[in-house]
Chains A and B, each alone.
Chain A
Amino acid sequence: MKGITVPWILTIVAALATLPLLTASNVVLNFLIVTLLIALVAQGWNVLGGYGGQYSFGHAAFFGTGAYVTAIMQMRYGVNAWAAFAVGIGGGALVGAIIGALTFRSGLRGSYFALVTLAFAEVLRILASVAPLTGAGVGILIALDLRPQAFQFQSRAPFYWIILALVGVSLVVVRMIEQSRFGAWLVAVRENEDAAKALGVNPTRVKFAAMTVSAAITAAGGAFYAQYYLFIDSGIAYGSWISVEALLAPIVGGVGTVLGPLLGALVVKALGELTKLVTGDTPGLDLVVYGGVLILIVAFAPNGITGLLTNLRGHFMRLRARALGRSDG
């Protein structure tokens, strides 16, 4: 079937891995790391939203859980940073499973689903802003310990390679889902739930599984964030900013495609940087641009960049066929 194959994914990842060797600029590396981080979080959203058709407005719930669990495991229970990372992913997946079990069992879809996910994320944010466990209003600082064993590094390059590896894994996972029965069922549920039911698909279970996978991937992004910045609080971890970026990137890049979130993250982050260049560092303007982009994309390019490219390719092929004097397909 169409779509990007695993060998190509690995090629792209390998090519991207060489970037730190080409530049020593911390600014560039930081930009790339943040872009890949968003790409990872966005890929998580893409599994549930792009392939599953369930648009979550509260993916911060999983991002934040991944971040907090990682931080808390290390700072309050002395767990090794890498183990804490894994537990963070597990924690995020668990939250995803719980929310999924609750919402899909009730048959919530569409706007109601978006609302409920928004509410869950808000509840977590408020809880995190008052609970002593999460540092209440102050947040959590991960102690500086610049050793690889502590998942902290002197230079940015190792961070870059780690987030790149995570993104690479997520790309392969999503491709494998695309090629699997689960993926076919997931997409069927997205397109027409009743028709899918009549063909033997159990929509609740499929959506639940998608939510759990989606949450795990996004939580990995959150856990990485905590390790990279070494500080989180309720506004960062569970704030609406990450819920927005998590859905904006796939929509810009192309929902329901393997590379969409990565492309979208690149465009969104580049736009953000551009905005900052032109107008300075005042908070809020980059999000204004994001909101505007969201509206424009929905209005003019609902399938995102990937969709535009596919359309272009279609036009090009037709032109070519005509030029060569052959009749249409």
Chain B
Amino acid sequence: MAEPLLRVEHVSKRFGGLLAIDDVSLAVEAGRVTALIGPNGAGKTTLFSIISGFLPPGKGRILHRGTDITGLPPYLMARRGIARTFQIVQPFAGLTVHENIAVGAHLSRRSRAEALKAAAEVASAVGLANLLDRPAASLTVAGRKRLEVARALATEPELLLLDEVLAGLNPTEVAAMLPAIRALAGRGVTILMIEHVMQAVMSLAEHVFVLAEGRIVAQGSPREVVSNPQVIESYLGRGAATRLVVAGGGHG
């Protein structure tokens, strides 16, 4: 098997008395869509922040193509091809959509004209083409989420970390976003996504990790993971898996 694109090795992170991440190890294969799911407060965004350089791990390493990148600052991570979106969207509010995306495009381009051109292409790819000149602050939530993705995409990443990119979207908006993400994967971008919207996880992800209380409690294909009793328990509480089986049996 080829070296995975990203490897997280025995990473732990403590905040004061709280052990937010407890000896987490996972691997992300290139070209795949991998999902990271788990109940709220499990530590998923914390893990993202560690992978993308915003937080140093307490213990453990992050390896990119075999190279140790632990503790590199975020901008160097981005330059290595690891881009992330934020769970709480962070647009450049005073700039237009076009200018927002251009900042990402500038990562590999010096010229403003080229960056703007590349930004326009990325905007088309995510369906923001007709909003290019709008101030970013005037976008709807769905628009801002697309902008998050577009900006990260403009850096031409190898690995894209999507943090709950579908949160806060209504079913129509989710349905519109899914093909866009699928298209990204189609272009060869490796995606690691934190997601609560199960529909997206089931239809997009090829491999799923489940994080609960800072620990990986299960991994596998979406189908495998969803029927795993431990996963059910971590979402619904202890004994829930058994109760579900009993209830299922009761209904025949």
Contacts and interface: CB of A to CB of B under 8 A. Distances in A.
Classify A-B as touching or not with yes or no (CB < 8 A): yes
A198 B112 contact: no
Contacts of B90: 192, 194-195
A222 B125 CA distance: 50
A196 B112 contact: no
Interface in A176-231: 179-181, 184-185, 187-188, 190-192, 194-203
A191 B94 contact: yes
A1 interface: yes
Interface of A: 1, 179-181, 184-185, 187-188, 190-192, 194-203
A199 B99 contact: no
A195 B91 contact: yes
B92 A200 contact: no
Contacts of B31: none
Interface string B79-94: 1000110100011111
B153 to A, nearest CB: 11
Given A198-B78, A201-B103, A191 B93 contact: yes
Contacts of A180: 110, 112
B169 interface: no
A53 B152 CA distance: 23
A197 B73 contact: yes
A179 B116 CA distance: 11
A198 B52 contact: yes
Given A1-B112, A179-B112, A181-B115, A196 B73 contact: no
B52 A199 contact: no
B54 A199 contact: no
Contact of A188 (B78, B92, B154): B92
B235 interface: no
A198 B102 contact: no
Contacts of A181: 106, 109-112, 115
Nearest to A199: B104
9 A-B pairs with the lowest CB-CB distances in the bound complex, closest first: A200-B78, A191-B92, A197-B74, A195-B90, A200-B107, A188-B103, A181-B106, A199-B104, A202-B75
B48 to A, nearest CB: 10
B234 interface: no
A179 B95 CA distance: 14
Interface in B52-73: 52, 54, 73
A1 B83 contact: no
Contacts of A199: 75, 78, 83, 103-104, 107, 151-152, 154-155
B92 A192 contact: yes
7 contacts: A1-B99, A184-B99, A184-B115, A191-B92, A192-B90, A196-B92, A200-B79
Given A184-B102, A199-B78, A194 B155 contact: no
A197 B151 CA distance: 12
Contacts of B115: 181, 184
Contacts of A191: 92-95
A191 B135 CA distance: 13
A195 B86 contact: yes
Contacts of A179: 112
A195 B107 CA distance: 13
Given A184-B102, A192-B92, A198 B79 contact: no
A326 B232 CA distance: 56
A188 B100 CA distance: 8
Contacts of A190: 94
A147 to B, nearest CB: 44
B106 A187 contact: no
Contacts of A184: 99, 102-103, 106, 112, 115
A188 B102 CA distance: 10
Nearest to A193: B90
Nearest to B53: A197
Contact of A187 (B52, B84, B95, B110): B95
Contacts of B95: 187-188, 191
A198 B116 contact: no
Contact of B92 (A187, A197, A203): A187
Contacts of A201: 75, 103
Interface in B142-178: 151-152, 154-155
A50 B107 CA distance: 23
Contacts of A185: 103, 106
**Residue of B75, B94, B112 with most partner-chain A CB within 10 A:** B75
Contacts of A197: 54, 73-75, 78
A192 B91 contact: yes
Given A1-B112, A187-B94, 4 more contacts: A191-B92, A198-B83, A199-B78, A200-B104
